[in-house]
Structure 1
Amino acid sequence: MNYDLAIIGAGPGGTDAAEHAAAHGLKVILFEKNKLGGVCLNEGCIPTKTLLRSAHLLSEALEGKKYGVTIPEASFELSKVMSRKTKILKKLGAGIRLGLQNHGVEIVTEEARLTDKTADGFTIAAGESSYSARRVIIATGSKAFIPPIDGLSDVPYWTAREALEVEELPKSIVVLGGGVIGMEFVSLFSTLGIDVTVVEMLPKILGPMDEELSTELQQAFEKRKVKFHLSTKVTAVRDGRVIAEHEGEQLEIPFDKLLVSVGRRAVTDGLGLETVGVELQRGAIVVDEHLETSVPGIYAVGDVNGVSMLAHTAAREGQVAVHHITDYPDAMSYRAIPGIVYTDPEIASVGQTEQELRTAGVDYQVHRVPMSLSGRFVIENEQGNGFCKLLTDSEGVILGAHMLGNGSSEILVPAIMAVEQRMTLAELARIVFPHPTVSEIVRIAALS
């Protein structure tokens, strides 16, 4: 059968692109060998936040006396929390399927691969059938990277996938990697009273995120007895111990369970990319500002292009690709891609960091205020702290925004728009924010 557009992969990028294309009148077919929703829904964004929500409620219950509320028997029932997670995934998965069907998108539950390039488009094989499409969007996502550590393959370690299916909590856990995924699991397990140790090769956690944010978060976790080994390289895993090196000294770190979270890699194997000549760079598909690859008519959105491995980026990239296919003027901008760490406390960031601006030689100013200037934040976070920091150039144009404090993920939105639209502090300060809300802190920072 012939289609206007074939999409391989049904994560946020693929499903959003499919519905958007169908709404533009294209005949769309979508291939997904696993579950609809991709990594984000089934083993990433949604299940981790579901578990973190339960852990956060437990923390609030145990600390209720701060608010004049005593809940002496608060406890965490793992089986019920996991059951709730499964129910939510099924509900959201069914919603995705219904949305695609309502838009007339044909869904094929098979592994797909490109087999030929023709004058009219491309041929795709899936199962025992063959399909033709004028355009193709590849949205196959990413998978956990497993480093070549001596002895690791002999240990029943976890990646995020296994950690989200746990049936019994360990007594202690060592997390290899201090990135976003690793730190969210640190937040979860430390809240549940598990002894947590983080081993990170870099001198700071959360890699490229704002240094002040990562330092503050690390200190918050250290108060909860989480141990950190930074600038530390793992050399081997032996008999329930991580063997590592730090400044020439050998360390032996015992563990009950090991979680490997050192990054993700684009999924490009088995797609037949070499058959049609799609260019790769460092294992990811090379794309232009319209998400088109080196082969005209083939696009790549989401983690598979390696530019910004975030679900919300993938959704926007899918929209841009469809716009290019349908001759609607559009181009992808990465100026204001938000980054959130759903820990307790939360971190939210958008735009450039101080480190990036210093490296680029940009003359910038810092406008920093404590979260305690927001009445709503004080009401909802007894003894809590945090800050909101806006970075501007010499003309007052907002270049970045960085926040620490619960609720940051929700109140970052006006700052995202300000960075994308290159608003000045004066323009942002003229906007009326509702009171009392935590989001007012953005305006307060602009006025500072």
Structure 2
Amino acid sequence: MESYDIAIIGGGPAGYLAAERAADAGKKVLLAEKRTVGGVCLNEGCIPTKTFLYSAKIFEYEDHKGKDLGLCCENAALDHTMVLARKRSVVNTLVGGVSSALTRKKVDVVRGEAGLRRAEHGFTILCGGSSFCAEKVLLATGSEPVIPNIPGIAGGIGDGSVLTSREILELQEVPEELVIVGAGVIGLEMAAYFNIAGSKVTVVEMLEQIGGPIDAELSFALQTHLEKAGIKFILGSKVVDVSGKTARIETPSGNQDLPYDKLLLCVGRRPSLHIPGLSDMGLYVERGAVSTDLHCETNIPNLYAAGDVNGKYMLAHVAYREAEVAINNMTGVPDEMDYAAVPGVIYTQPEAAFCGLTEQQADSRGIKTVVKKATINLSGRHVAEYGISEGFCKLILDEKGQTVLGAALFCAYASEIIYSLALMIQNKIPVKSIRKTIFPHPTVCEIIREVLFM
């Protein structure tokens, strides 16, 4: 039985980054992956959706903004089959890059479903018909789509009319009528793409706002923009039946039937804990997720968990950081997680980005704040490229206006700008210091400076 310093189960963002960091620390590393390295994010999440959305953005820009820019692009069309082919090419390229990095760093990768059990000096990992032992183990098995218990769901999945976020990214044709259940990030991004691609899109959401627990003003602005683009929202409602390609919607004003060609389920994800032997180890699981401390360690010594499997933030960038914290502690480097400034982005056009506390969260916690907001039209570059728009930058400051507690952006390039705000929030950089910082001109990020001087 071959012995390793660290074994990692799962090759998604948390798993492959942890393997690289552990190898860099001079450890002998085993990585077990039952499907393809890169995990959900690279194969059926973050990257595939962005390839879809970028094509849609360019087409929409060309189709609607071209004449304003002095461009003449007659008969512009979005070819979904070519978008799909490009998506596959991008994914294959990046998966190959991850695999090459693991090979260069001499990480041993074994394919197959991994089992786990405790041993006298660590753990035994069973995978690919072989047994391995390791002193320390990181669980990085990710998550899977939640399939709600709605009448007709099983039949719809069986005949291909009901899809999850995995199947929608392999759909060969653009459906005429698309119903999306769930107005979270995935639901909104797919709604944006397929609306531009030609589908009649309706989004059903149980909450009274879209985007989940984001800033209410940001949610409203995004909804208004998407509605103007042609997307219909049914909020405060739920789907109670999907038989016969018709969604029965229960709304506050009564039931309504909504026919569809395809129905996309985006009601959330649950941690993947299908690891033979895990349930016999006494692992503490809370609400279906592996419970971890700030070191990313479980209640079992030397057993760690990072990424979606711990259920804290199901975001690839959080998984990266959790992986680093776990490996640092495994290798004797003290480190802790801090979730105070986790950035999030909805990659529509304009993009919606957010970080830290929302105005509503601060109020509910009794935190007194100063709220500052400015239209994105104060940014010369944004106006030059996108014209006058409804975008904005909103900052939540502490009561004395000395530090930034939260931020919300609705504009082009918001996904690139939000990092600087996360840095300010995470490190409690004084507002007076930010004001003295020289921002490059003309850039959209100058809007931060504009807000802070209001």
* TM-score of the superposed pair, with normalisation by structure 1: 0.98
Return the alpha-carbon distance in structure 2 between the equivalents of residues 430 and 295 of structure 1: 48
Return the alpha-carbon distance in structure 2 between the equivalents of residues 105 and 221 of structure 1: 45
1:61 has 2:66 as partner: no
Shift of 1:158: 0.9
Task: Describe the superposition over 1:172-196 as per-residue Cα deviations: whole angstroms up to 9, x where unpaired.
Answer: 1010001110000011011122111
> 1:127-166 alignment to 2 at 5 Å?
127-155=128-156, 156-166=161-171
CA contact (8 A) 2:181 2:267 kept: yes
Return the alpha-carbon distance in structure 2 between the equivalents of residues 360 and 419 of structure 1: 18
Return the alpha-carbon distance in structure 1 between the equivalents of residues 238 and 96 of structure 2: 43
Identify the residue that residue 47 of structure 1 maps to in structure 2.
Answer: 48
Return the alpha-carbon distance in structure 2 between the equivalents of residues 178 and 80 of structure 1: 27
CA contact (8 A) 1:425 1:447 kept: no
Identity of aligned residues (%): 43
1:102 has 2:104 as partner: yes
Task: Describe the superposition over 1:315-335 as per-residue Cα deviations: whole angstroms up to 9, x where unpaired.
Answer: 000000011011112100001
Identify the residue that residue 26 of structure 2 maps to in structure 1.
Answer: 25
In 2 relative to 1, CA 374–248 (structure 1 residues): closer, same or farther, beyond 3 Å? closer
Identify the residue that residue 256 of structure 1 maps to in structure 2.
Answer: 261
Shift of 1:295: 0.3
In 2 relative to 1, CA 367–136 (structure 1 residues): closer, same or farther, beyond 3 Å? same
Aligned length: 447
CA contact (8 A) 1:11 1:139 kept: yes
CA contact (8 A) 1:140 1:268 kept: yes
Counterpart AA for 2:325 = V
> 1:212-251 alignment to 2 at 5 Å?
212-251=217-256
Match of 2:85 among 83, 93, 98: 83
Shift of 1:246: 1.1
Counterpart AA for 1:2 = S
Return the alpha-carbon distance in structure 2 between the equivalents of residues 40 and 245 of structure 1: 32
Query: 5+ residue gaps in structure 2?
Result: none
CA contact (8 A) 2:352 2:411 kept: yes
Structure 1 residues 173-182 or 146-155, which shifts more?
A: 146-155
Shift of 1:238: 2.5
CA contact (8 A) 1:66 1:382 kept: no
Shift of 1:271: 4.1
Task: Describe the superposition over 1:86-129 as per-residue Cα deviations: whole angstroms up to 9, x where unpaired.
Answer: 111111011001111111111111111102x1231100111211
Task: Describe the superposition over 1:225-258 as per-residue Cα deviations: whole angstroms up to 9, x where unpaired.
Answer: 2111100021111222111211151111121211
Q: 3-state SS of the aligned residue for 1:239? A: helix
CA contact (8 A) 2:80 2:197 kept: no
Query: 5+ residue gaps in structure 1?
Result: none
Shift of 1:385: 3.0
Q: 3-state SS of the aligned residue for 1:251? A: strand
Structure 1 residues 34-43 or 155-164, which shifts more?
A: 155-164
Return the alpha-carbon distance in structure 2 between the equivalents of residues 108 and 239 of structure 1: 43
Structure 1 residues 289-298 or 233-242, which shifts more?
A: 233-242
CA contact (8 A) 2:340 2:426 kept: yes
Return the alpha-carbon distance in structure 1 between the equivalents of residues 238 and 426 of structure 2: 38
Task: Describe the superposition over 1:188-217 as per-residue Cα deviations: whole angstroms up to 9, x where unpaired.
Answer: 011122111011111111111111111101
Match of 1:408 among 399, 404, 414: 414
Task: Describe the superposition over 1:314-362 as per-residue Cα deviations: whole angstroms up to 9, x where unpaired.
Answer: 0000000011011112100001110100011210000010110010011
Root-mean-square deviation (Å):
1.0
In 2 relative to 1, CA 395–423 (structure 1 residues): closer, same or farther, beyond 3 Å? farther
Identify the residue that residue 266 of structure 1 maps to in structure 2.
Answer: 271
Counterpart AA for 1:37 = G
Q: 3-state SS of the aligned residue for 1:69? A: coil
Task: Describe the superposition over 1:386-425 as per-residue Cα deviations: whole angstroms up to 9, x where unpaired.
Answer: 0011101113221001100111000111101000001232
Q: 3-state SS of the aligned residue for 1:55? A: helix
Identify the residue that residue 14 of structure 1 maps to in structure 2.
Answer: 15
